[in-house]
Amino acid sequence: MPSIAYATVDVFTTTPFSGNPLAVIPDARGLSDADMQKIATEFNYSESTFVLPPSDPTNTAQVRIFTPTTEVPFAGHPNVGTAYVLGSMAEVFGKPVGSVLRFEEEAGLVEVELARDGDRVVSTSITAPRPLEIGSTIDPATIAACTGLSLADIATRNHSPVFLSVGLKFAFAELADLDALGRAKPDPAAFEQAAMDYLHEGRDFSLFVYARLGDSGDLRARMFAPLDNVTEDPATGSASAALAAYHASLRPEADGTFNSLITQGVEMGRRSEIHLAAEKTGGVVGKVRVAGSCVPVMRGTIAF
């Protein structure tokens, strides 16, 4: 029986069994779209990635990203983790692996930088493929219904709940404090209703809620996507990047690089640390970088 090699890593952590797990298929040649979806469903991680030769030989690879239910155009932790796995290999599709990788994805070209200690990859940094896109504002009552919280728990003094994207769209809402964040519990029926109410914003409703940690700019967050069979995600790099870009856009400074740390997964027992840097020039947010560490967990083969 043919077999397909895979590796799993925990992303945005240096501790095994923390962070966000990811399955990577380093050579997905020969797999159909249906095969990839079945494998992603079998792993049942928030995402799994499938690596294919690039269409442009100057790039490193084509990377396809699947949730347990569908393919997505971009995501943060899959890029960080895939780059870690490929960066730990001697070559990818016959080409040596350097410290800069370029992934072809549906959302665009994703550039990745690897920090190494000798041959060991110690951290990975990606640049979001698209500039910040700001969508519709969201009724705070929708956020309250989706999270089982009260309207008083939804903070609106800094910004209204809103749709944001740097390659993959999420709904965002600030909560009043860490207590409210800890009490949040997704209601699938409310998510289904929200998806219908905001159908013009996309196919589903994935919600990133957060609370501020003092005045440092650092945040603690949770992400719920029950419509994608992801009740809660331990680390969501694409959403974190969009939020970092949005917060930079709201700052009064016209120029600067704004660094922040988002901690996620704490309530799940899978603490993740996502480092972000948003560049702002002339009042416009340009590049947003997402960085973090990874730790290998498993290697094996899938019987196919």
Domains of the chain (ranges; CATH) run: 3-127+293-303 (3.10.310.10), 133-291 (3.10.310.10)
Look at residue 247 and give its three-state secondary structure.
Answer: helix
Helix, strand, coil content of the chain in percent (nearest 5): 25, 40, 35
Which residues are designated catalytic? Answer: 47
What pLDDT does 120 receive?
Answer: 87
pTM above 0.85, yes or no: yes
For tokens 């925990």, name the residue.
10
User: 224-278: per-residue pLDDT in tens?
Assistant: 999 988 899 999 999 999 999 999 999 999 999 999 999 999 999 999 999 999 9
The token pair that represents 283 in the structure block: 């009042």
Q: How far is CA 7 from CA 81, 198, 209, in A?
A: 10, 37, 30
As a whole number of angstroms, the distance between CA 264 and CA 4 comes to: 32
Instruction: Read off the pLDDT of residues 64-103 as tens digits, 9 standing for 90 and up.
Output: 999 999 999 998 999 999 999 999 998 999 999 989 999 9
